[in-house]
C-alpha cells in the first residue's frame, strides 16, 4: 500500500482524474455491453417504445459534452483576441500557442475550497448554479445545428427557447437570496431586473420575423432562409436584428451590459459568497449562453446551417452560359467492401509511396536536411492532403456536415463580435484570473 499511495501522491491533478475516470469508463462500457448482450431484446423494445424520450436524453447528454469544449474555446478567444487588440501576445506557453491556458481557470476553481456561508440556505445555495447551467442546456434542445441534427423539433420551438431560457433569472435570484448577504441579494435583484427588462425587446423583436415565417419552429425558419444570402431574415428584418442583438447582449451579460456580475465593484453581485466550482458553474454557464445566443441569432437572421449561396443555381447558371450539361456530383458513394483485397494493398502501398514522393523534394532541395526529417515532413504533408480530401468528400456527400460547418462558422463569428465588444474601451474594468464575461480588458495608455 505504501508504493500505491506514494504513486498516487506523485500524480498530478489531471493524472489523478484520468486514473479514476478511465477504469470507471471501462467498467461502465463493459457493463453496458454485457447488459445489451444478455437483455438485448427487452432493452431495444423499450427504447423503440420510448424513442422520443431516449432522443431527448441523448440530446441533453450530447449538448453537455459539446458545450464543455465550446466554453473553453470562447475563453481562449477572449484571452488571445483581446490580447492582440491590446497589442499583447497573450498566452503562448501552456499548450501549443497557449491553447491549454483556457483550462487553467477551470482547474483553478476546481481545486479551490467550496465554501458555504454559515447562515446561508445550503440547499438553495447549492442548486442555484445548477439551475442556471441547466436552463442553458435545456434551451438549446430546440436549436437545429444542421439538417437532422437537433434535439427536438417543436412547432413552438422559439417560444420554448424564451420560456426555458428565462428561467435563468430564478437561478440568479436563488444565488443572491440564499447567500444571506445583503450585497448578494441586491446583486441578484439587479441581475433579475436587467434580464427581465431586456427580455421584452428580445421577444418583441422577432414578432415580425414570426409573421413572415408563419411558424415558431426553428427548423422551418432555417429552411425558409435557404438559397442565396438575400433570403436571410437579416436583410428582410434589419431593424429587428439590431434590436435583437442589443437585447441578446444584455441577456448574455456581455459588455457593456455587465451589471450582473458587477466586476468593477468591490463585490461580485449575486456571486459574492460563492467559491470553488459553484462559482465556476455560474460563469461557465455564461460562456455557454454566449454561444447559445450567437447560435439563436444565426438561426433567426443568418440562415442557420444554410450556405450563403445555392449550388444548384450556380450549376444551372453555368449550364446556361457554357451550354454544357454539368451535373451536380456532390453526393459520392464509396463502398469499401466492393474493392476486396485490392483495398488492403492500396492502404499498405499508397501511404508509403506518397510519403516518399512528398519527402523527395524536401530532401533534394536542401542537402543538409536529414533523411528522417524529410520523411517526417512527407508523412505530415501526406496526412494533410488525405485529411483535406476526406473533408471535401464528407462536405459534399453529407448535408449535415456541410450545414454544421456553416452553422458553427456563423455562430463563432458572432462570438468573435462579443469578444471584440469586450475588448473596446467602454468595457474597461478590472482583469481577473478567471476571464468572466463581466471583466473588461483595456489597452494601456501609451
pLDDT digits (tens, 9 = 90+) for 172-230: 899 999 998 888 888 888 888 888 888 899 999 999 999 999 999 999 999 999 888 88
Structure confidence at residue 409 (pLDDT): 94
Q: 184-188, 258-262, 354-358: which range is least confident on average? A: 258-262
d(CA 419, CA 438) in angstroms, rounded, equals: 11
- Residue 83: pLDDT over 80: yes
pLDDT 10s digits, 54-81? 777 777 788 888 888 888 899 999 999 9
Structure confidence at residue 159 (pLDDT): 92
H helical segments located in 329-370 = 341-365
Integer-rounded Cα Rg, in Å, for the chain is 26
- How many Cβ atoms sit within 10 Å of the Cβ of residue 138? 18
Of 439, 69, 127, the C-alpha closest to 274 is 127
Query: Would you call 102 exposed, middle or buried from its count of C-beta atoms within 10 A (0-12, 13-18, 19+)?
Result: buried
More confident residue, 17 or 196: 196
Of 87, 19, 43, 41, the C-alpha closest to 443 is 87
d(CA 408, CA 406) in angstroms, rounded, equals: 6
Q: Which residues of 277-301 are buried (b: 16+ CB within 10 A; e: fewer)?
A: ebbbbbbbbbbbbbbbbbbbbbbbb
- Residue 321: pLDDT over 70: no
More confident residue, 53 or 97: 97
More confident residue, 435 or 53: 53
Alpha-carbon dihedral sign for residues 4, 6, 11, 16: positive
pLDDT 10s digits, 386-432? 888 888 878 877 888 888 999 999 999 999 999 998 888 654 544 44
Of 148, 317, 312, the C-alpha closest to 223 is 148
Structure confidence at residue 434 (pLDDT): 44
Phi and psi at residue 340, to the nearest 5°: 65, -140
Residue with cell 494601456: 444
Amino acid at each position: 500500500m505504501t508504493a500505491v499511495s506514494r504513486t498516487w501522491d506523485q500524480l498530478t491533478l489531471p493524472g489523478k482524474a484520468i486514473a479514476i475516470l478511465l477504469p470507471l469508463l471501462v467498467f461502465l462500457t463493459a457493463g453496458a455491453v454485457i447488459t445489451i448482450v444478455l437483455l438485448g431484446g427487452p432493452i431495444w423494445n423499450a427504447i423503440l417504445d420510448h424513442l422520443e424520450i431516449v432522443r431527448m436524453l441523448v440530446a441533453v447528454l450530447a449538448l453537455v459534452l459539446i458545450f464543455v469544449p465550446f466554453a473553453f474555446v470562447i475563453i481562449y478567444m477572449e484571452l488571445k483576441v483581446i490580447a492582440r487588440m491590446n497589442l499583447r501576445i497573450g498566452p503562448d506557453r501552456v499548450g501549443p500557442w497557449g491553447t491549454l491556458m483556457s483550462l487553467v481557470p477551470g482547474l483553478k476553481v476546481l481545486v479551490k475550497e467550496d465554501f458555504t456561508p454559515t447562515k446561508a440556505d445550503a440547499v438553495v445555495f447549492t442548486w442555484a448554479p445548477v439551475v442556471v447551467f441547466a436552463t442553458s442546456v435545456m434551451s438549446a434542445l430546440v436549436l437545429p445545428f444542421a439538417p437532422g441534427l437537433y434535439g427536438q423539433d417543436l412547432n413552438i420551438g422559439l417560444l420554448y427557447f424564451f420560456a426555458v431560457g428565462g428561467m435563468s433569472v430564478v437561478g440568479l435570484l436563488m444565488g443572491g437570496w440564499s447567500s444571506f448577504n445583503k450585497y448578494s441579494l441586491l446583486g441578484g435583484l439587479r441581475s433579475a431586473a436587467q434580464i427581465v427588462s431586456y427580455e421584452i425587446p428580445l421577444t418583441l423583436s422577432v414578432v415580425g420575423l414570426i409573421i413572415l415565417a408563419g411558424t415558431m419552429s426553428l427548423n422551418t425558419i432555417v429552411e425558409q432562409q435557404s438559397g442565396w444570402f438575400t433570403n436571410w431574415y437579416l436583410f428582410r428584418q434589419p431593424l429587428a436584428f439590431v434590436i435583437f442583438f442589443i437585447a441578446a447582449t444584455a441577456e448574455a451579460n456581455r459588455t457593456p451590459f455587465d451589471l450582473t456580475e458587477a466586476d468593477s465593484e468591490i463585490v461580485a453581485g449575486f456571486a459574492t459568497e460563492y467559491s470553488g466550482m459553484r462559482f465556476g458553474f455560474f460563469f461557465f454557464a455564461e460562456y455557454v449562453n454566449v454561444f447559445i445566443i450567437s447560435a439563436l441569432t444565426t438561426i433567426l437572421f443568418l440562415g442557420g446551417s444554410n450556405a450563403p449561396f445555392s449550388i444548384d443555381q450556380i450549376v444551372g447558371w453555368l449550364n446556361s452560359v457554357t451550354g454544357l450539361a454539368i451535373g451536380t456530383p456532390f453526393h459520392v458513394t464509396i463502398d469499401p467492401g466492393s474493392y476486396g483485397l485490392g483495398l488492403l494493398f492500396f492502404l499498405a502501398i499508397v501511404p508509403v509511396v506518397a510519403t516518399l514522393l512528398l519527402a523527395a523534394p524536401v530532401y533534394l532541395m536542401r542537402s543538409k536536411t536529414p533523411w528522417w526529417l524529410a520523411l517526417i515532413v512527407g508523412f505530415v504533408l501526406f496526412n494533410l492532403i488525405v485529411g483535406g480530401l476526406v473533408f471535401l468528400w464528407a462536405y459534399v456527400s453529407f448535408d449535415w456536415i456541410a450545414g454544421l460547418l456553416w452553422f458553427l462558422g456563423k455562430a463563432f463569428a458572432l462570438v468573435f463580435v462579443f469578444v471584440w465588444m469586450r475588448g473596446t474601451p467602454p468595457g474597461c474594468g478590472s482583469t481577473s484570473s478567471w476571464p468572466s464575461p463581466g471583466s473588461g480588458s483595456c489597452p494601456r495608455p501609451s
